[in-house]
Amino acid sequence: MANNEDLFKQIISHAKEYGYIFPSSEIYDGLSAVYDYAQYGVELKNNIKQYWWKSMVQMHENIVGIDSAIFMHPSIWKASGHVDAFNDPLIDNKDSKKRYRADVLIEDHIAKIEEKIEKEVEKARKKFNPFDEVLFRETNGRVKEYTEKKAGIERRFAQMMTDNDLAGLKTLIEELGIVCPVSGSRNWTDVRQFNLMFSTKIGSLSDGADTIYLRPETAQGIFVNFLNVYKTGRVKVPFGIAQIGKAFRNEIVARQFIFRMREFEQMEMQFFVRPGEELKWFNYWKEERMKWHLSLGMEPRDYRFHDHDKLAHYANAATDIEFMFPFGFKELEGIHSRTDYDLKQHEQYSGKKLRYFDPETNETYIPYVVETSIGVDRMFLAVFSHAYAMEKLEDGSERTVLRLPARLAPVKVAVLPLVRKDNLPEKGREIMDMLKPNFLCQYDDKDAIGRRYRRQDAIGTPWCVTIDNQTLEDNTVTLRERDSMQQERVPAAQLNTIIAVKL
Ligand code: GAP
């Protein structure tokens, strides 16, 4: 049985070997934390985006979509706080010359203590049956000790992050005895702040050029278009503006594959509400977004909320939807009640009134905002890693299968003539032509049928249609289902309907 680290490596190499994700610029040895989506990857990614767009924009009559530019006026990032405060605390190890995020070093240390607690609990679970976990956590000496230690570190850490106490973070790293994973030494530099925005110059002449930023989130493109949408969209509070697009962050630590990238994509929605009603809508979106995840057939046990105790100065509620990635529970989506902070800031910096006249109350106000923000690439990784499985079959052989939700799978149907003769390829082409206007299909008549099934399993194709001699006699085909590997004989003429119903 592969451990989680091995499993994650297998998932990464599967993504490359089967045309899902390639390292960017690979023939030049790659570019750190940048990836390209390959022939199947781009289909899966597009299907995720479509599924989100449909559920947010098409299914909510009071949400509209936009697509704002990546380049925006530089004052936007001053107003939003990104120029002054979009920083990560970084620290270098003087021996290895490796750079780390100071907060991540501490978080990893906390995660190790958590692992120790879980190991103790797991041991007890195996030993005692029935097992009262709450009582055990309260009474077991070691578990109590670890739990208190962890809580103490978390308290201090949270305070330091709030106070921007960089010296405190260094002291904590030293006190906890955190070593550099490469050199093994504790020879650390001081902690410094590092702004995550990429900058570039706009204009054809460099001397007349102005510094602008590649947007680090898509949200600001929504805020600065609030007035335009309000004036042209016939929208009434509460209403939302949704957007999918690229975002860029100069992440200090590039790791965990597409989990943390320097160029990534976000699917964000800002929901504008009456002041005072924001917490009601925050709870609404918390539930809605969790339902969206579960509607894909993912396991509820792989999701949890992580409510923020310490809130950013502009938020009055925030939660993360965390997913059980192969490297543990991590943030997949954020839901934030951002008050009227962003619109107020843009009012101040632009000098334009960003207000809404409420015909029901006869009041004019700056709406409050509830935001839902999910990374497309993280969602991709969640779906892909959840789908990946190695299975032992009854005949003793093994197969690797991607159990992707059918509606997200890149190829929906593979059309496979049993042999490459006896007019079966011609019949296969006919069926392919009948299906391809409706579904992304793949035709394949090379190799033994068993190998072709394995290949479709490995790219996650939910259905294989096999054409054999009987097809020529009665126009029926076998329809093989990926997960159960069950085959049924169905009329070829009904394939479009059968597959549409299954989808
Ligand atoms: N507008 C709010 C915002 O940007 P965030 O928590 O910084 O909030 C939202 O980002 C989501 O974007 C995260 O939950 C994550 O899914 C995704 N995300 C953030 N940074 C990322 C990165 N470097 N690589 C991939 N996805 C990232």
pLDDT in tens, 344-389: 999 999 999 999 999 999 999 999 999 999 999 999 999 999 999 9
Cα separation, 270 vs 343, in Å, equals: 11
Token duo for residue 13: 């190499």
Question: What is the predicted pLDDT for the residue at 254?
Answer: 72
Of 311 and 29, the structure prediction assigns the larger pLDDT to 29
Question: What is the predicted pLDDT for the residue at 204?
Answer: 64
pLDDT in tens, 115-141: 999 888 888 877 877 778 777 777 788
Question: What is the predicted pLDDT for the residue at 289?
Answer: 98
Ligand 1 center–CA 374 separation, angstroms:
6
In the predicted structure, residue 500 carries a pLDDT above the cut 60 = yes
116 residue type, one letter:
K
365 residue type, one letter:
Y
Are 461 and 452 a contacting pair, CB within 8 Å? no
pLDDT in tens, 60-76: 999 999 999 999 999 99
Residue 279 CA: distances (Å) to CA of 195, 316, 331, 335, 455: 31, 8, 21, 11, 49
Closest CA to 469 of 430, 415, 427: 427
Ligand 1 center–CA 247 separation, angstroms:
9
By three-state DSSP, how is residue 243 classified? strand
Residues 489-496 have a mean pLDDT of: 97
pLDDT in tens, 252-286: 877 799 999 999 999 999 999 999 999 999 999 99
Chain-centroid distance of CA 53 in Å reads 15
Residues 399-419 have a mean pLDDT of: 97
Token duo for residue 169: 């973070």
Q: Strand runs (DSSP E) across 254-342, as ranges?
A: 263-273, 303-307, 317-325, 328-337
What rounded mean pLDDT belongs to the chain?
Answer: 94
> What percentage of the chain exceeds 90 in pLDDT?
85
Are 286 and 303 a contacting pair, CB within 8 Å? no
Are 109 and 178 a contacting pair, CB within 8 Å? yes
Of 208 and 174, the structure prediction assigns the larger pLDDT to 174
Q: pTM value?
A: 0.90
Cα separation, 305 vs 286, in Å, equals: 9
Q: List the residue whose alpha carbon is closest to atom 9 of ligand 1.
A: 373
pLDDT in tens, 416-474: 999 999 999 999 999 999 999 999 999 999 999 999 999 999 999 999 999 999 999 99
Question: What is the predicted pLDDT for the residue at 209?
Answer: 62
The ligand 1 atom nearest the CA atom of 261: 24
Ligand 1 center–CA 375 separation, angstroms:
6
Determine phi and psi for 376, rounding to 5 degrees. -60, -45
Question: Which of 378, 379, 383 is the best mutation target for the ligand 1 pocket, counting ligand atoms within 8 Å of the beta carbon and taking the most?
Answer: 378
Q: List the residue whose alpha carbon is closest to atom 6 of ligand 1.
A: 334
The pairs formed by 297-303 with CB atoms below 8 angstroms and a separation of 24 or more are 297/405, 298/382, 298/383, 298/386, 298/405, 299/386, 302/386
pLDDT in tens, 204-260: 655 556 889 999 999 999 999 999 999 998 999 999 999 999 999 999 877 799 999
DSSP for 454-465? Answer: HHHHHHT-SEEE
Q: List the residue whose alpha carbon is closest to atom 27 of ligand 1.
A: 375
Of 25 and 85, the structure prediction assigns the larger pLDDT to 25
Classify the phi-psi angles of 482: left when phi > 0, otherwise alpha if psi is within -120 to 50, otherwise beta.
alpha
Question: What is the predicted pLDDT for the residue at 1?
Answer: 42
In the predicted structure, residue 476 carries a pLDDT above the cut 50 = yes
Question: What is the predicted pLDDT for the residue at 366?
Answer: 98
Cα separation, 261 vs 29, in Å, equals: 17
Measured from CB, residues less than 6 Å from any atom of ligand 1 are 217, 219, 249, 251, 260-261, 264, 266, 268, 331-334, 371, 373-375, 377-378
The ligand 1 atom nearest the CA atom of 333: 14
